[in-house]
Structure 1
Amino acid sequence: MTFIKENKKTVLIIAVLILAIGVLLSFALPKDKAVAKVDGEAINKDELYDVMVEQYGAATVEQLIADKIVASEAKKEKVTITDKELNEEVDKLKESYGGEEVFNQMLESNNTTVDALKDDLKNYLTIRKLLEPQIKITDEELQTYFDENKDSFGEAEQVKASHILVADEATAKEIKQKLADGADFAELAKEYSTDEGTKENGGELGFFAKGTMVTEFDDVAFTLPVNEISDPVKTDYGYHIIKVEEKKEAKEANFDDSKKEITETLIQQKMETEYSTWLEEKKKDYDIENSLESVVS
């Protein structure tokens, strides 16, 4: 989701850190207590706080002011976000990442949680509900976007397949014979496959478009009939046994089928450009005192 800026989480974390450290420095540490020492030379709490304020303070306070205004305007307009809406947005993200497993890996790699993500989503949905009534998308804009991005709305031919990858041809032939004798493909993948990313899922690759895999793999996967199992296929990665489970024909881009997706994209684009204007206008309605401005100016 393009509207939820990547640095927003960082800003919020910094805000919490500044506040938490401020409390710690004010109450927990004696005035002359060093927070660190280098060869005996102390770094005191005032130095730490000044650096944090100088580097992050202005952006953090501005973000907190914006959040307060959004919350206040949402209360005025009786805008609320339900758990159902939040869960639907999380489900959309899971789907866009290709499933719950990859989604959870994304959360872990960004050192965040579903609850933290929901906080960002709640703020995004609140802003969207406040701004959306003033956002207009014309048929001409929809058609122009479709014409300029037509290639992205078509669908290439796709195949859903699984594979078992091994290092040598002899092992591949052994697996092929076991499959011919009635062995279970998924179980053999778990036992033999050297593809750590798919073996525990029985070798499942999901759907992939023509041209995604290396040529040797692609050629077999897209010519093999559904429910058939290939002979060993040699690539630079080793020897593959491929099972084709389903196929999707190529689909040309269609404007009517794409309108919903295009509308969503244009709404997000306009929200990004109009949010700043909206916020500056709303600030005029509030008595804002920012004592940090005089500190960092």
Structure 2
Amino acid sequence: MPTPRFRLVALACAAALGFSACSSSAESSSAVSVNGDAIPVDAVEEELANIQGNERYRQSIEQGLAQQGLQMTVSGAGDGTFDSAFVARVLSLNVYYRLLEQEIEKRGLEVTEEDLDAIRPQAVNAVGGQDVFDAFPEDYRNELVRRQALTQELQQALGSGAGAEDARELFEENEDHFKGVCVSHIFASAEQRGLDGAEARIKDLAAQLEAGADFRQLATEESDDTAAAAQGGSLDCGGRGRFLPEFEEAAFELPVGEVSDPVQTSVGYHLILVEERRPLTFEEVRPQVEQELQRRQLMAFSELIDELSCEADVEVNPRYGSWMDGCDDPAVVGEVVPPEGPARSGAPAEEVPPGLTG
């Protein structure tokens, strides 16, 4: 399970925020420094202006913050001000981005024009679609694409990808794990019948089976799962992770050839018949194998970012707050804390004027 620190990084790596390239000129005061690499105040102001000027994007960010239980907005209450907690969030993401860039440079990785072209649709989707993306200035759009590409480049460098050779190798190393069940079911849909109606329906069908009705015939003629009904109720064979949790638990415990009692899931009620248990072929479980590869890749990325952030020398302009190190507690996110303290649910944030100086 990704740590809270990684969830913060994942937000950045999804191109939710990206910073324009910044100068290290002594004429610009530093907003934050990461291992001696300074991000000047004017770069932060430009970033905030880009976000504030894109109404649909700003609204989507504020909705996301609200869903996290944070009383935080992009803009402050006064004209020309920004929420200081949001500014701290932006700086936190910038710290992580800069750590990624430093690691990419250290590893000698390179992003080609072909990489940028390939990743561009992901950057567009990450900000909410083409219209939202196009509302940003061209330089900022290019920066969003570049950061998306850099992040992907580093993730791919950390280990196995999800290609055919990697997936097959993982499958062969863990063949015992990929055992499955071949099942059929009769389904009563809660969406179509309501939960009580679905329960009554499945109990009636279970009684018919008990009285000697043919499972295959009932599955074909009476099941609400029309796709499976066309196959006599068959759902084919699958491993763990393919079925709904309650369905999976019953299917893997049920003896071959027996029909289950009614099983409730999030979509309704089922009568399950286990046809066979057997090792699954690579093609049958390939989606699950590729998903596991991606999970391992993300965990490796998470661990690297944890390590880099704990080792980093981060200095924050006191006007913005300070850096809170989360190294000693995996439940704590390394982040920039605004002068009034961390943003918490129900805690109003102060305002920061756009023209900050060191």
TM over 0.5: no
Give the TM-score taking structure 2 as reference length: 0.36
More helix by share: 1
Higher RCO, 1 vs 2 (CA within 8 Å, ≥6 residues apart) = 2
Give the TM-score taking structure 1 as reference length: 0.41
